[in-house]
Chain A
């Protein structure tokens, strides 16, 4: 019994030691949509760089997967309780966070959105990729590569998140409005899970033998499409367009199995959100939306110096 209580005292003490905030320094909690994926690790890198440059302290946390809206709300609540000077938030659900954002507003804590916005004007600014424009650009490239006609399909990570919806709709709408001879025959969702995306991309290819191209709307989806094309030995017969980076997509682009991909600027997103938060704390005027941009990469520029900071491994 005594050892047990001793152990719990030690455990609590060590937790306190880890959680103890540094006094006097500006503190900005960054609440992301996740931390396990390479994309979020790159965002974290950017946020940490900004924190170092601007001499503020940040913490970076996010739920384990992008459906855990409730877990993210708990994180946001806990962050508010720490009375920070500002908060950076990539909301998983654009509406669920609003009551907590009102609390932040009442406590005069500026909120800077990143990666995706919320349905509210409380955030002083939002630094994000214009996913609709980026997916539309992917559609343009696809149309160009398949010669403006034929059947294409898309593998998307999910049908409920903002990025999933925007990338799907950005792709579909551009195809519909600009390329009447191209038919999007199937859109399926693989949760960003590599294995599930592989199996469903294979089923799509099997079910549509005239398919000319597939768009994978995030890293896991794109790798699934790549695996499917490789396993069915359709390299060169099906145009694959991906999203984001990662070693496997970059290798596939170098080898020509993937025609190219749209890359966001995750490091830039992380940097801009912390930088904007610091400006907001100082009372400087900040633009409501900060477009962090996207770049197209293919065989010709995948190893170019200018692309390097955008293409994480």
Chain B
């Protein structure tokens, strides 16, 4: 099979897959609308502007983490390290900005670089040393968590001497243009990152190989693609987004909290899965992931507004994840039968 035919076959396959993920995305979107309507009926405070910005802010960190991990999951892999890599990146930003008194831009760069570096190491372990993704990134989860504690000397690093960092994140460029529409810049970062991720996944060779790796890694290798290199890049992308999440959480909390981050990876993976990304690889969209992240944050916010006890909030969120995966399986079985 020559390369042209191979890539034709890949893209046909992708088109049919895209159609099927579109259904899942639609389902998630439907769930989102149902929740919005239900919560607005149940509480007059739900649809207020301040609460909407609250939901947007609550989605930002998890959403950005979920964007990166979507790439990895589409290749059929997993990245459990994103939560603590986020923390490590936040700490590095703190070290640059607060401890070394460097400009905020360098601190942001340091955070992004830290995340990317952790992702590169993950990719190297997985692609070159053939360590299973689950194990490699579980190891990185602990390494990053430990390093964050060591580097920060177990103390939060505050940005209170650099007020511009928090002001940049929580200020509103949109509000300056459209009075009254005060959406914090942090939220724009989520949407900017989502558009970027979507373009990369849909329009670039990286995106094409991400799907190819998840659909059939062996066929991809046989058609002459340097599978190892692309895999490393995919994990680096996940790391980069974790780094961005680190910068964002540091800016919002006006501090790098070294003991936070564990468990954030599971929320991010849940967002991707709710949005239709298949854990067996080869399927997924950025739009779906963004919707998935909103499903989680709207659900959490709505249940809180209604003062539902927290124990039950957790039960509901967990059930939604199971339901989403189950619907995905049902849909796939139907497709196979058809």
Point out residues on A near B: beta carbons under 8 Å: 35-38, 41, 64-65, 159, 185-186, 188-189, 193-195, 198-200, 202-204, 206-209, 223, 227, 231-232, 246-248, 251, 313
Least distance between B206 CB and chain A CB atoms (Å): 30
Contacts A37-B259, A193-B260, A194-B253 hold; do A186 and B307 have CB atoms under 8 A apart?
A: yes
Contact digits for B251-268, partner A, Cβ 8 Å, 1 yes 0 no: 011110111101000000
Instruction: Determine the residue in chain A with the shortest Cβ distance to B53.
Output: A231
Instruction: Determine the residue in chain B with the shortest Cβ distance to A209.
Output: B45
Q: A206 touching B51 by the CB < 8 A rule?
A: yes
Q: A195 touching B154 by the CB < 8 A rule?
A: no
- In the bound complex, what is the Cα–Cα distance between A232 and B149 (angstroms)? 31
Q: B304 touching A203 by the CB < 8 A rule?
A: yes
Q: List 30 A-B contacts (CB under 8 A).
A: A37-B259, A38-B155, A38-B156, A41-B155, A65-B259, A159-B310, A186-B307, A188-B304, A188-B310, A189-B310, A193-B260, A194-B260, A195-B249, A195-B252, A195-B253, A195-B260, A199-B301, A202-B58, A203-B51, A203-B304, A203-B305, A206-B45, A206-B50, A206-B305, A207-B304, A209-B45, A231-B184, A232-B54, A248-B158, A248-B255
- In the bound complex, what is the Cα–Cα distance between A94 and B305 (angstroms)? 33
A41 CB contacts on chain B under 8 angstroms: 154-155
Set A35, A193, A198, A204: member contacting B154, Cβ < 8 A: A35
Q: B304 touching A36 by the CB < 8 A rule?
A: no
Contacts A36-B259, A200-B304, A227-B253 hold; do A195 and B45 have CB atoms under 8 A apart?
A: no
Besides A36-B258, A200-B304, 5 more A-B contacts (Cβ < 8 Å) are A37-B259, A195-B249, A200-B300, A202-B51, A209-B45
Number of B residues near A (Cβ < 8 Å) is: 37
A193 CB contacts on chain B under 8 angstroms: 260
Q: B149 touching A36 by the CB < 8 A rule?
A: yes
Point out residues on B near A: beta carbons under 8 Å: 43, 45-46, 48, 50-51, 54, 57-58, 61, 149, 154-156, 158, 160, 170, 184, 249, 252-255, 257-260, 262, 297, 300-301, 304-307, 310-311
Q: A231 touching B304 by the CB < 8 A rule?
A: no
Q: A232 touching B50 by the CB < 8 A rule?
A: yes
Least distance between A201 CB and chain B CB atoms (Å): 9
Least distance between A264 CB and chain B CB atoms (Å): 18
Least distance between A4 CB and chain B CB atoms (Å): 16
Least distance between A14 CB and chain B CB atoms (Å): 17
Least distance between A187 CB and chain B CB atoms (Å): 9
A231 CB contacts on chain B under 8 angstroms: 54, 57, 170, 184
- In the bound complex, what is the Cα–Cα distance between A263 and B128 (angstroms)? 53
B257 CB contacts on chain A under 8 angstroms: 194
A195 CB contacts on chain B under 8 angstroms: 61, 249, 252-253, 260
Give the one of B48, B50, B311 with max A CB within 10 A.
B50
Least distance between A227 CB and chain B CB atoms (Å): 7
B154 CB contacts on chain A under 8 angstroms: 35-36, 41
Q: A203 touching B54 by the CB < 8 A rule?
A: yes
- In the bound complex, what is the Cα–Cα distance between A84 and B250 (angstroms)? 42
A207 CB contacts on chain B under 8 angstroms: 43, 45, 304-307
Q: B50 touching A247 by the CB < 8 A rule?
A: no
Set B51, B160, B304, B311: member contacting A247, Cβ < 8 A: B160
Q: B54 touching A199 by the CB < 8 A rule?
A: yes
Instruction: Determine the residue in chain B with the shortest Cβ distance to A202.
Output: B54
A36 CB contacts on chain B under 8 angstroms: 149, 154, 258-259
A188 CB contacts on chain B under 8 angstroms: 304, 310
Set B45, B48, B149, B307: member contacting A185, Cβ < 8 A: B307
Contacts A195-B249, A227-B253 hold; do A206 and B54 have CB atoms under 8 A apart?
A: yes
- In the bound complex, what is the Cα–Cα distance between A307 and B8 (angstroms)? 73
Q: A199 touching B58 by the CB < 8 A rule?
A: yes
Instruction: Determine the residue in chain B with the shortest Cβ distance to A312.
Output: B155
- In the bound complex, what is the Cα–Cα distance between A195 and B90 (angstroms)? 13
A65 CB contacts on chain B under 8 angstroms: 259, 262
Least distance between B122 CB and chain A CB atoms (Å): 22
Least distance between A169 CB and chain B CB atoms (Å): 16
Give the one of B51, B58, B304, B306 with max A CB within 10 A.
B304
B259 CB contacts on chain A under 8 angstroms: 36-37, 64-65
B61 CB contacts on chain A under 8 angstroms: 195
Least distance between B236 CB and chain A CB atoms (Å): 25
Instruction: Determine the residue in chain B with the shortest Cβ distance to A227.
Output: B253
A199 CB contacts on chain B under 8 angstroms: 54, 57-58, 297, 300-301
Least distance between A32 CB and chain B CB atoms (Å): 13
